[in-house]
Amino acid sequence: MVHVKDVLKSMDYGPAPEGNEHVVAWLEAHKAGFGHFIGGKFTDPAAGKSFKVTNPADGKPLARVALGTTEDVDNAVAAASRAFKSWSKLSGHERAKYLYAIARNIQKRDRFLAVLETMDNGKPIRETRDIDIPLVARHFYHHAGWAELLESEFPGYRPVGVCGQVIPWNFPLLMLAWKIAPALAAGNTVVLKPAEQTPLTALAFAEICREVGLPAGVVNIVTGEGDTGAALVAHEGIAKIAFTGSTDVGKIIRTATAGSGKKLSLELGGKSPFIVFDDADLDSAVEGLVDAIWFNQGEVCCAGSRLLVQEGIAEKLYAKVRARMETLRVGSPLDKSTDIGAVVSAEQLERITSLVETGKKEGAEVFQPSISIPGTGTFFAPTLMTGVEPASTVAVVEIFGPVLVAMTFRTPDEAVALANNTRFGLAASIWSENINRSLDVASRIKAGVIWINATNLFDAAAGFGGYRESGYGREGGREGLFEYLIAGEAKPKGKDSAKATLVAAPSATAQVVATDEVDRTAKLYIGGKQARPDGGYSYAVANAAGKQIGLAGLGNRKDIRNAVEAATKAESWGAATAHNRAQILYYLAENLSARAGEFEERLRAMTGASKRAATDEVAAAIRRTFFYAGFADKHDGAVHSTKSRHVTLAMNEPYGIMGVLCPEDAPLLGFVSLVMPALATGNRVIAVPSSRYPLAATDFYQIVDTSDVPAGVLSIVTGNASELAKTLADHDEVSALWNFNGGVDAALVDKASAGNLKPVWNGARDWHGVEAQGREFLRRSTQVKNIWVPYGE
Ligand code: NAI
Ligand code: MG
């Protein structure tokens, strides 16, 4: 007799294909090819060229789409510029209605979009149906809300203009939503270029825009390859670029936009750690791993691709993982019971395959389950590599496929060190039943998103984005909206530039004297001490009338390196309580006030300012210091409302070590206006005063000396500001750079920091005006880390 339990044992899943007739019919209707979506209409490509889009699961062609040229990009930007005039003036409420209509329409067509996405990308229908498309709708709903609230929640902010958006192929429609929803909510118009592998859902989205009656030109879609993206990035009419994709291209874009004043946000690669402590619930951790690395074929920028496991449980966990891998189903993406679909392209498959080969050669032990893999299409088996050295290729580079590499650690400290041993910093997943330990580790990992006992959770209300070479800027939530807004009134073109005051900086040869000869040289201030410049030279400082009034140290690379070293040792500043930092800032203000007269004299002698003007500047500097002392414990994070039974903690973390290039105008007030907010939020600062008027800043170290500022928290290096700026930009340990020195070329600083993707703020302010202080300075000196903590048994 046949027993039911025996049947259950051997029972296999039958095929459960999702119907795709409606998508096939839609593709058939567009057999002639898709044009670009420009100015509310589908238009033929200017050069008449197109390219083929295929289904990676079977290699069959799906459609032909237009190959965008510079001319197409020009047309699209022109349409977006025209549309901007009226779209940006609509009330938030009017824009909200459009976003809401788009969200509704996406929900109405959810099955169509899920099937189309699956056919275009190769990802399983279960994921497009349950994750991608619902999140797309959620993003438009969420941002319909922001459009409505914009005027009340972001007073004094305005849209940036025309945004150029370039997206990848791994979450085609979701990445479109992450880019277009906030841009439109904030009153911008967009030109978006989807990835060449997966342009189809963007074209279906264009139809939705038309259907809801979105004004022509608000959304433009130009299809094409990397060159098309590059043309968009280079276009003069673009005010902001948002990019998601590889770190390599991120760096190219950073260089291409250097000095252009274009706003830029980059969401790049990752090699995110998945950390399992010995007290973790191992079965949950294994399920977590499935979602971390086998979700979306592992083609996920925040994939938990590095398994770090505590030594004592490593073998046990590996055994469980291997057993679970045997039950994963690789197959037709349209089959509802498929876990792992096709890799996006033959090129990507080749990349994954060759990296796994490299891993083998480097000595990793490679495990793949004995499950069946389709014979045609670009499929890759789920893979686990153990015995991996932390410095080996597969432990370092992003594989972007269903490949997990595993390493062990002994202590929490070692786990943190291993986790941070990467140039990336996108996400991390921490598994432990000990919440104290989990939160401690979360606070020490340098990454923008941390999931505790969870992984790959996303929601429109929480910002997403990286630290370090994973890029900068956030998508989602309030923090993401800032990427599409600028503070202040629109200024006439040309006046907004950071190059407003260009003054010759001292060169290493001009007016240079050996410091030993004159002992009244203002020294550098490094590590809590006055320091002679490493090179031993000073330069003459002249007043406004050209008469020499003193000497300042001519700092060089070595001095900057010393300042960074001192700052590195002062790491505890960021961990001090905000109350503590406030106390020290108050103390600075008090001591500045006690010596107000000296500073007034110095300003007058240096700049030729009137007594009245000098008195005003010192008074304003004292007030500004009080302002940031007051704010030190009020730059709060948030608890986002995301999923049920989760808290999502958005914490404002200091960058760490910041370089600050101070302005020439208002030599004291400008210095204080930049240094104080950065210190208040817990950064250590290396300040470079303007070459021309450095002496008010060098006088300031006497104030620092008497105000309990820990050594290394604030260093002051004078000299050729442009040269010092370049050294600061080049330095990997300097995590952010503010350039308010009109004499330091923004392009130079931008280019020099493209290599390490350091966020740079090139700015200019009227230091006596209201825009010279406030939350923007606090926000720009911090980056948001979102920590997701689920609760409940
Ligand atoms: P990619 O960075 O070249 O492509 C992403 C987008 O950028 C596409 O739309 C592409 O057409 C465009 N693009 C390419 N070159 C450009 C340029 N010079 N200027 C402007 N736009 C340009 O990524 P690709 O080649 O598809 O994948 C290579 C690797 O990048 C993957 O193996 C993976 O490691 C990583 N990647 C990371 C993603 C992420 O979400 N962080 C997404 C896609 C890829
Ligand atoms: Mg590429």
Give the Å distance between the CA of 225 and the centre of ligand 1: 10
Q: Can you give the three-state secondary structure of 604-647, one letter per residue?
A: HHHHCCCHHHHHHHHHHHHHHHHHHHHHCCCCCCEEECCCCCEE
Pick the residue whose CA is nearest to atom 36 on ligand 1. Answer: 246
The one-letter amino acid at 699? D
Contacts of 492 (CB under 8 A, 6+ apart): none
**Ligand index nearest the alpha carbon of residue 351:** 1
Please check whether residue 560 is in contact with residue 686, taking contact to mean a CB–CB distance below 8 angstroms.
yes
Residue ranges around ligand 1 (CB below 6 Å): 166-170, 193, 195-196, 225-226, 229-230, 233, 244-246, 249, 252-253, 268-269, 301, 348, 351, 398, 400
Of 296, 377, 290, the closest CA to residue 127 belongs to: 296
Of 248, 302, 237, 317, the closest CA to residue 271 belongs to: 302
Taking the C-alpha atoms of residue 430 and residue 432, their distance in angstroms, rounded to an integer, is 7
Taking the C-alpha atoms of residue 758 and residue 745, their distance in angstroms, rounded to an integer, is 16
The first and second tokens of residue 67, run together, are 């190959």
Contacts of 226 (CB under 8 A, 6+ apart): 196, 249
Taking the C-alpha atoms of residue 743 and residue 745, their distance in angstroms, rounded to an integer, is 6
Other CB atoms within a 10 A radius of the CB of residue 8 amount to: 8
Q: Which atom of ligand 1 is nearest to the CA of 175?
A: 40
Give per-10-residue mean pLDDT for the chain (793 aa): 69 84 98 98 95 98 98 98 98 98 98 98 98 98 98 96 98 98 98 98 98 98 98 98 98 96 97 98 98 98 98 98 98 97 98 98 97 96 97 98 98 98 97 97 98 98 96 95 89 40 42 56 94 94 90 96 98 95 98 97 94 97 98 96 94 97 96 98 98 94 95 97 98 98 96 95 95 96 97 83
Please confirm, yes or no, whether 209 is among the known catalytic residues: no
Give the Å distance between the CA of 588 and the centre of ligand 2: 51
Q: Which atom of ligand 1 is nearest to the CA of 249?
A: 2
Please check whether residue 172 is in contact with residue 195, taking contact to mean a CB–CB distance below 8 angstroms.
yes
Single out the catalytic residue among 148, 163, 299, 301: 301
Angle at 758 between CA 648 and CA 523, to 5 degrees: 120
With H, G, I as helix, E, B as strand and everything else as coil, classify residue 485. strand
| Res 13: pLDDT | 73
Report the C-alpha dihedral over residues 273, 418, 784, 732, rounded to 10 degrees.
-130
| Res 732: pLDDT | 96
| Res 563: pLDDT | 98
Give the Å distance between the CA of 169 and the centre of ligand 2: 11
Give the Å distance between the CA of 749 and the centre of ligand 1: 25
Could you give phi then psi for residue 755, rounded to 5 degrees?
-65, -40
Taking the C-alpha atoms of residue 506 and residue 729, their distance in angstroms, rounded to an integer, is 19
The first and second tokens of residue 749, run together, are 């600083």
Taking the C-alpha atoms of residue 388 and residue 397, their distance in angstroms, rounded to an integer, is 13
Please check whether residue 95 is in contact with residue 87, taking contact to mean a CB–CB distance below 8 angstroms.
yes
- This prediction's pTM: 0.95
Could you give phi then psi for residue 761, rounded to 5 degrees?
-115, 105
Q: Which of 65, 73, 249 for a ligand 1 pocket mutation test, highest count of atoms within 8 Å of Cβ?
A: 249
Please confirm, yes or no, whether 94 is among the known catalytic residues: no
The first and second tokens of residue 101, run together, are 């209509």
**Ligand index nearest the alpha carbon of residue 269:** 1
| Res 544: pLDDT | 86
Sheet holding 219-221, edge to edge: 41-43, 36-38, 219-221, 189-193, 162-166, 240-244, 263-267, 471-472
Give the Å distance between the CA of 249 and the centre of ligand 1: 6
Give the Å distance between the CA of 245 and the centre of ligand 1: 4
Taking the C-alpha atoms of residue 748 and residue 46, their distance in angstroms, rounded to an integer, is 36
Single out the catalytic residue among 127, 267, 398, 664: 267
Q: 182 burial class (0-12, 13-18, 19+ CB within 10 angstroms)?
A: buried
Please check whether residue 661 is in contact with residue 737, taking contact to mean a CB–CB distance below 8 angstroms.
yes
Other CB atoms within a 10 A radius of the CB of residue 502 amount to: 12
Q: Which atom of ligand 1 is nearest to the CA of 348?
A: 32
Of 724, 789, 727, the closest CA to residue 752 belongs to: 727
| Res 490: pLDDT | 66
Please check whether residue 652 is in contact with residue 492, taking contact to mean a CB–CB distance below 8 angstroms.
no
3-state DSSP percent of the chain in helix, strand and coil, to 5: 45, 20, 40
- As beta bridge partners, residue 42 has 37
Backbone torsion region of residue 664, taken as left when φ is above 0, otherwise alpha when ψ lies between -120 and 50, otherwise beta? alpha
Pick the residue whose CA is nearest to atom 9 on ligand 1. Answer: 195
**Ligand index nearest the alpha carbon of residue 246:** 1
The first and second tokens of residue 685, run together, are 């600062």
Give the Å distance between the CA of 42 and the centre of ligand 2: 26
Report the C-alpha dihedral over residues 209, 212, 218, 223, rounded to 10 degrees.
10
Of 396, 398, 397, 370, the closest CA to residue 383 belongs to: 370
Of 235, 222, 228, 223, the closest CA to residue 249 belongs to: 228
| Res 497: pLDDT | 36
| Enclosing H/E stretch for 478 | helix 477-481
Please check whether residue 170 is in contact with residue 300, taking contact to mean a CB–CB distance below 8 angstroms.
yes
Sign of CA dihedral 109, 200, 100, 456: positive
Q: Tell me 709's DSSP state.
A: P
Could you give phi then psi for residue 541, rounded to 5 degrees?
-105, 125
Pick the residue whose CA is nearest to atom 24 on ligand 1. Answer: 246
Q: 577 burial class (0-12, 13-18, 19+ CB within 10 angstroms)?
A: exposed
Beta strands in 547-697 (DSSP E): 548-553, 638-640, 646-654, 657-661, 684-688
The length of the chain is 793
The first and second tokens of residue 346, run together, are 């033959």
Please check whether residue 668 is in contact with residue 617, taking contact to mean a CB–CB distance below 8 angstroms.
yes
Give the Å distance between the CA of 194 and the centre of ligand 1: 10
**Ligand index nearest the alpha carbon of residue 297:** 1
| Res 1: pLDDT | 65
Helix count and strand count (H, E) for the chain: 28, 32
Could you give phi then psi for residue 82, rounded to 5 degrees?
-60, -45
Task: Return the residue matching tokens 């839609």.
Answer: 26
The one-letter amino acid at 436? N
Q: 255 burial class (0-12, 13-18, 19+ CB within 10 angstroms)?
A: middle
Half-sphere exposure for 689 (CA within 13 Å, toward CB): 32
Q: Which of 222, 228, 246, 468 for a ligand 1 pocket mutation test, highest count of atoms within 8 Å of Cβ?
A: 246
Integer CA distances (angstroms), 239 to 31, 163, 190, in order: 35, 6, 10
**Ligand index nearest the alpha carbon of residue 170:** 1
Please check whether residue 275 is in contact with residue 411, taking contact to mean a CB–CB distance below 8 angstroms.
no
Other CB atoms within a 10 A radius of the CB of residue 775 amount to: 12
| Res 513: pLDDT | 61
Q: How large is the C-alpha radius of gyration of the chain?
A: 28
Contacts of 6 (CB under 8 A, 6+ apart): none
Angle at 107 between CA 216 and CA 147, to 5 degrees: 50
Please check whether residue 190 is in contact with residue 183, taking contact to mean a CB–CB distance below 8 angstroms.
yes
Strands 485-487 and 529-531: unpaired
